[in-house]
């Protein structure tokens, strides 16, 4: 469809078709989602270990 429109409007501005770049946009979206999930997992793991350490040290301090 986009090729026919371009052929009809050769002297005019070009027509941009979303479906031509949909695969690339979907790949970029997938990569950004994976990066976000990985960073979220790292931040949650660091927060969890920080919480464990703080709790352990508070319990240790209370027993002394």
Q: What is the pLDDT along the chain (64 residues), one digit of tens a residue?
A: 767 766 766 666 666 777 888 989 999 999 999 999 999 999 999 999 999 999 999 999 998 7
**CA atoms in the 13 A half-sphere facing the CB of 56:** 6
Residue 46 lies in a domain: yes
> ∠ CA(48), CA(54), CA(57), 5° rounding?
140
Residue 29 lies in a domain: yes
- Is the alpha carbon torsion for 32, 37, 40, 41 positive or negative? negative
**Is-contact 43 33, C-beta < 8 A?**
no
Can you tell me the distance from the alpha carbon of 38 to that of 26, in angstroms, rounded to the nearest whole number?
18
Domain around 40: 21-64
Residue 55 lies in a domain: yes
Residue 14 lies in a domain: no
Q: pTM here?
A: 0.63
The number of distinct structural domains making up the chain is 1
């Amino acid at each position: 469809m986009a090729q026919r429109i371009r052929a009809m409007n050769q002297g005019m501005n070009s027509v941009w078709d979303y479906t031509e770049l949909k695969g690339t946009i979907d790949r970029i979206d997938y990569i950004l989602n994976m990066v976000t999930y990985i960073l979220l997992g790292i931040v949650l793991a660091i927060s969890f270990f920080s919480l464990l350490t703080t709790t352990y040290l508070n319990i240790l301090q209370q027993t002394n």
